[in-house]
Structure 1
Amino acid sequence: MDINCDGGHMAFTAVHPERGRIDATLTDLGQGLEWKHVYRTQPRTRLTCPECGHGVHAKLSPRRMRYFAHDPGRSPHCQLSMESADHHLLKRVLAEAIRRAGWSAELEVPAPDGAWRADVMATSPAGGQRMAWEAQLSPITDDDIEMRTDRYAADQVHVCWVSSRDRVPWLCTVPAIAVTPASQPTDAEQWKVHDGLARFDYGRGGWAQVDVTLTTFVRWVLAGDLVFHTIGLRYRRIHLPGSNATMRRSASWTTPRSAEAESRHETMRQQQEAAKRAREERAREADEHRKQAERERQRREEEQRRAEAQERHRQMTIALERQRAVWEAERREQQRQQEEQALREEHARRERDRREQAAAQQWWSGVSAAQLTELLDHVAALAVSERAARALPVSGQVEREHGYGIAVHTGRLLYGVVRPCPHSLGRLPTSTRVFVRNAREKALIIAMDLVDADLVTHFNLPDHEQTALL
């Protein structure tokens, strides 16, 4: 919606030194003046901002829209100078829609006591009615917008808040609408009201959103054809035309007829519910009589079933005691078998440990202290190249949990295991790296089919200096 003006430096009203307040959106500036009497005059006409009193000058946007821009050195606290170009455009469009409705529109009108400043103040032809129209594009809390609305109400001024933002969180908090800008931003007739106006469909028993032009909406409001209505709790799902989608709204602009239709529908609904409750109460009483008779019959049958059940229970107790004796014998036999199985498994485990220890002793018997040191040095050098840290053995001892190999760490992390015994590879954690002296030892490790060949690294060290187990 860019109108290519001076952003926050523009306004539509100014104070003429002789004529007083003038309005750039009016043909005669509201004071019987032509635009040429203030635009690029020589000498320049001394115009001032009605808000801060700083000097302003008449300008035209690239789209030939007339406005007033602050002179250099303006006050940083002037509210008019801080408003965005979108804000100014929406004010102008609202003023045009008000004038098309036959009312006069004055921009940037302050309250006598300064309690409020209307973006656009609409005044009826006879002058007896006023209504403020507020362009609200910046974020604002519900409390703040309610407080500002109350200030208008205190002066008997109605107000409608208008936003062109995609999301308007406070739309139902105060009288408000959401609008869609036109492709030609300055053409008020093409602006659409896409949220905030609804009608009540009595046949469907619900509200439906109404899309109209902004000028039509303004004309209806000023003519008194619309009211801001608080929607009943049961009717707050608003149907969107042309789809099955709905949205929740707690309040909306609507016609008095629609507001009355909702009230009639609620009365009808309550009457129907009251009649339904009465029918249900009568049916409940009749059902209660039937249930009472049924309960008496069931009571007698229950007494008979209880006596039969007691006899069956006595017979079942006898049978259960017999069965329990059988179960106890079976349990003791199962326990005996489990204990024997545990002993066999323990014996097998010890036998496996003994074989693994013997195999590990045989595995390590062919490596001298010098060869081990040489291998550890190669592993440390590899860790430095890979992780920039030396791989060191924590204990330096062969450990069963590491497959009777020597675990090496970089810092606190396990880097790998040096020469785990091929018969104990199953004890290594998954994906553990393995380091051996040469291809022969790697082939022995891989042949067990318990470690991925890619995880086994050898250093082509020779087999010699065969000594006793370390």
Structure 2
Amino acid sequence: MAFAAIHPEAGRVDATLLDLGCGLSWTMVHKVRPRIALRCPDCGYGVHAKVSARKLRYFAHDPGRPADCAWLNESLEHHLLKLELASRVRDAGWHAELEVRADDGTWRADVLASAHDGIRRIAWEAQLSPITDDDIRDRTERYRGEGIEVCWVSPAETVVPWMSKVPSIRVRDPRGGDSWAVVDGVARFDFQNGVWIVVEDLDLTRFIRWVLHEQTAPHQVLPRYRRVWLPSEHGYGRRQLIWTTQRSVGEEARHDAMRQRQEAWRREQEEKKQQAEQLRKEEEARQREAQRLEEERQREIRAEAERVRLEEQKRQWAIEAEQARQRREAEELQRQEQAAAAERERLLKEQQRLLQEQQELQAAQRWWDELSLKQIQQLQEAVAEPLWKKEGARLEFAPDVPTADTAYGIAARLRHRLYGILRPSPASLYRLPSTVPIYVRNAREAQLLIDTGKIEPVRIVSFDFPDHEQMFLI
């Protein structure tokens, strides 16, 4: 969709104007035979005049249109906003052309407003699609390079990051019969509160008239006043560039001058305060110096008295030190005697322990001398066989000579865990764990263990083997 086209004879025609901007009527290009060879101003491809269901006149591309034509990618909302901007410019008494392209292609204005004298020109850009800050600044600078002012316009529903970084406004389309309104981008300065306030619900026609007649213009907000009040949001936002009147600009400058005077007065008061504080500190320093001298004299007096006291104290300390030395010598002598006694006691206990271990070892040797190797194997088989038949598990018996940690009995292990002790020596039963089972050959051996009083009968498992190895005739 496009509102402009190139007529082969009349040149540029504008569908939004009654005379198409060149003295022709709409019927002279719409549904005429033979068809007028109209061309798109952007891509040069053929177009034809059409009327939408809303009675909107425009030019549509012929079939086979090029995909890179800029106007083909614009939405209906974009076209309607451009048409509204052009209509409001014309209502304000200026000339408005839609979709104007620079001869060298460096810029293309949605709506180019021109004063009747042709000196002043303003581009009105309907920006609905996303654009980066750098791109929109670059396009603004291109217009300025051509001596063209610019105002970027976006819908109220769109939050744009570049708002206030270039001359821009946000507008709301008519609702319930209302006219188009500016909801952001225009502000007034409240001198009493020292803050810019965004003007909301400003009639779009009125705003455009103000801009065209230079009653409002873009203003770079002073850094300290960029925190702007947004009434609809009941909060503050940041704005660098706004549309406003010269009066508000003067009020901002007057308020800034007032703040500078106030800050200068506060700085002067602060300097006076600092000077008074400096005088006070100097006086306090003099008083501290006098006090220091007096304290120094008093310290010297106390130091002399302390020296005399310390001399006396040193003599007393020498006496006490000698007494302490004598006490330490007596205590050391006593400690040495106690250590000697403790060493004698330790040696005695060690001798007793060695004697006991020797006695236990001898008792264990006598205990095992009662059995032959065959009888020992017989006991091992009796312990291992039930477990093998029931669970298929094999016991492992310690292959070494029995030691004191198993009470000189043979350790039986199941999967590397202690399963039981075979024939521990009665003299060494106190060495066994409290829960490990004990296996003996017969009731006599079991009774010998029980008689020691060091083991519970329930822990003992006995068999019915004779005390002596049986002899068999072959």
| Pairing 1:135-154 to 2, within 5 Å after superposition | 135-154=126-145
Partner of residue 133, structure 1: 124
Q: TM-score, normalised by structure 2?
A: 0.60
Alpha-carbon separation, structure 2, partners of 1:158 and 1:70: 31
How far off its partner does 1:285 sit?
0.9
Q: Does 1:230 pair with 2:252? A: no
Q: Does 1:17 pair with 2:8? A: yes
Give the secondary-structure state (helix, strand or coil) at the position aligned to 1:125. coil
Is the 1:163–1:178 contact (alpha carbons within 8 Å) kept by the matching residues of 2? yes
2:151 to 139, 142, 160: 160
Partner of residue 246, structure 1: 236
How far off its partner does 1:209 sit?
0.5
Alpha-carbon separation, structure 2, partners of 1:251 and 1:161: 12
Partner of residue 108, structure 1: 99
Alpha-carbon separation, structure 2, partners of 1:62 and 1:309: 111
Alpha-carbon separation, structure 2, partners of 1:51 and 1:398: 93
Partner of residue 180, structure 1: 172
Partner of residue 465, structure 1: none
**Cα separation, partners in 2 of 1:370 and 1:136, compared to 1, 3 Å:** farther
Alpha-carbon separation, structure 2, partners of 1:37 and 1:171: 43
Is the 1:104–1:123 contact (alpha carbons within 8 Å) kept by the matching residues of 2? yes
Partner of residue 193, structure 2: 204
Gaps spanning 5+ residues in structure 1: where?
1-9, 319-364, 372-395, 401-422, 424-470
Partner of residue 264, structure 2: 274
Alpha-carbon separation, structure 1, partners of 2:89 and 2:146: 21
Q: TM-score, normalised by structure 1?
A: 0.61
The residue type paired with residue 251 of structure 2 is A
Alpha-carbon separation, structure 2, partners of 1:367 and 1:31: 118
How far off its partner does 1:251 sit?
1.2
Quote the RMSD (CA, aligned, Å): 3.4
Give the secondary-structure state (helix, strand or coil) at the position aligned to 2:231. coil
The residue type paired with residue 60 of structure 1 is V
| Pairing 1:426-465 to 2, within 5 Å after superposition | none
**Cα separation, partners in 2 of 1:177 and 1:220, compared to 1, 3 Å:** same
Is the 1:168–1:178 contact (alpha carbons within 8 Å) kept by the matching residues of 2? no
> Over residues 266-299 of structure 1, what are the superposed CA-to-partner deviations in whole Å (9 max), with x where a residue is unaligned?
1121111111111111121112212332344456
Give the secondary-structure state (helix, strand or coil) at the position aligned to 1:11. coil
Give the secondary-structure state (helix, strand or coil) at the position aligned to 1:128. coil
Alpha-carbon separation, structure 2, partners of 1:109 and 1:366: 105
Alpha-carbon separation, structure 2, partners of 1:146 and 1:22: 30
How far off its partner does 1:101 sit?
0.7
1:292 to 254, 267, 282: 282
The residue type paired with residue 145 of structure 2 is A
**Cα separation, partners in 2 of 1:20 and 1:282, compared to 1, 3 Å:** same
Query: Who wins on radius of gyration, i.e. which is larger?
Result: 2
Kindly indicate whether structure 1 or structure 2 has the higher relative contact order, using CA contacts under 8 Å at least 6 residues apart: 1
1:191 to 141, 165, 180: 180
**Cα separation, partners in 2 of 1:301 and 1:97, compared to 1, 3 Å:** same
How far off its partner does 1:33 sit?
2.7
**Cα separation, partners in 2 of 1:399 and 1:80, compared to 1, 3 Å:** farther
Give the secondary-structure state (helix, strand or coil) at the position aligned to 2:59. strand
Gaps spanning 5+ residues in structure 2: where?
314-386, 394-413, 419-434, 436-474
**Cα separation, partners in 2 of 1:398 and 1:275, compared to 1, 3 Å:** farther
| Pairing 1:362-401 to 2, within 5 Å after superposition | 369=391
2:66 to 72, 75, 82: 75
